[in-house]
């Protein structure tokens, strides 16, 4: 099969380009979906031209999105995942033996169907796990409906553009807080802390209008623009302690390739350029 080139342009004059074999392409009811075979990253999922995950680097993203919040909670039992149709997030959630029920609400059923067909290693056996409940529905509507509370809400969504922007606005954050048990935690990916500072700051400011404790932390995802990626942890009174998280990880017998207790603690230490971005100090982080 012929090679195809796909790329993202996060800023003027900047391009992150990849070349691989296009295995599948279609328009779902919500977005354009491509799946490539990449020589370095293996099967790669691309939605509306933006890389979402790959077989070989998905653990970088999913471990930081899931393990950091769940290890900040002493005993997460019910967990909600909004988005995450490839299965990587809910798979990591169910690695925590304390979890008795995990609900995944994904708006696009085709993302899950194609991920299961072309990239089965990402979700693994999660689709047959009796603790997992899969729903194909609007995550915002699900959160605003009545239902039992959760110990953690994990939002694994696309960027804050188009209809998905409601997942980054204060009314959604306020409703998530209402859907959490006391001591519950909320987490979401909030983009590149360099290229998407406006979006990151918008999410951070909107979340602070709902939660009393909002903290940004960083990880690395090799297929995302700029590699460094930001996540937002929210709650009423968060405890972020590497040693405590490490003890919980050991007790829960977690096996990780990226996350460590040291990474857990250090991820909340933000570079000055990111702190400046959160304060709105500069719209262009590379300005003099």
Token digits for 91? 């798979």
CATH number of 58-279: 3.40.50.150
- Print pLDDT tens along the chain (288 aa): 578 999 999 999 999 999 999 999 999 999 999 999 999 999 999 999 999 999 999 999 999 999 999 999 999 999 999 999 999 999 999 999 999 999 999 999 999 999 999 999 999 999 999 999 999 999 999 999 999 999 999 999 877 766 678 999 999 999 999 999 999 999 999 999 999 999 999 999 999 999 999 999 999 999 999 999 999 999 999 999 999 999 999 999 999 999 999 999 999 999 999 999 999 865 667 765
Active site residue 129: no
CATH topology of domain 3-54: Spermidine Synthase; Chain: A, domain 2 (2.30.140)
Distance CA 232, CA 65 (A): 9
CB under 8 Å to 12, separation ≥6 — which residues? none
Task: Exactly one of 34, 156, 159, 205 is catalytic; name it.
Answer: 156
Please state the domain extents for the chain. 3-54, 58-279
Instruction: Tell me the whole-structure pTM to 2 decimals.
Output: 0.96
Distance CA 22, CA 277 (A): 37
Distance CA 43, CA 223 (A): 12
């Amino acid at each position: 099969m012929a090679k195809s080139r796909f790329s993202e342009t996060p800023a003027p004059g900047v391009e992150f380009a990849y070349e691989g074999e296009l295995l599948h392409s279609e328009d779902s009811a919500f977005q354009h979906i491509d799946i490539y075979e990449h020589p370095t990253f293996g099967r790669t999922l691309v939605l509306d031209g933006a890389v979402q995950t790959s077989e070989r680097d998905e653990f970088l993203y999913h471990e930081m999105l899931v393990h950091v919040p769940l290890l900040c909670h002493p005993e997460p039992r019910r967990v909600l995942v909004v988005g995450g149709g490839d299965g990587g997030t809910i798979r990591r959630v169910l690695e925590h033996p304390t979890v008795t029920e995990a609900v995944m609400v994904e708006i696009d059923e085709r993302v899950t169907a194609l991920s299961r067909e072309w990239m089965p290693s990402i979700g693994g056996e999660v689709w047959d796990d009796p603790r997992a409940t899969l729903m194909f529905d609007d995550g915002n509507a699900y959160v605003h409906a009545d239902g039992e509370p959760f110990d953690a809400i994990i939002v694994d969504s696309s960027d804050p553009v188009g209809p998905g922007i409601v997942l980054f606005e204060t009314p959604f954050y306020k409703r998530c807080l209402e859907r959490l048990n006391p001591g519950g935690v909320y987490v979401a990916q909030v983009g590149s802390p360099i290229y998407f500072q406006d979006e990151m700051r918008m999410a951070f400011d909107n979340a602070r209008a709902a939660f009393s404790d909002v903290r940004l932390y960083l990880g690395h995802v090799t297929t995302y623009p700029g590699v460094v990626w930001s996540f937002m942890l929210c709650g009423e009174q968060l405890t972020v302690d590497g040693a405590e998280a490490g003890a919980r990880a050991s007790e829960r017998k977690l096996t990780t390739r990226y996350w460590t207790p040291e990474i857990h603690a250090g991820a909340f230490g933000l570079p000055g350029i990111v702190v400046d971005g959160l304060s709105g100090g500069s719209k262009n982080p590379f300005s003099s």
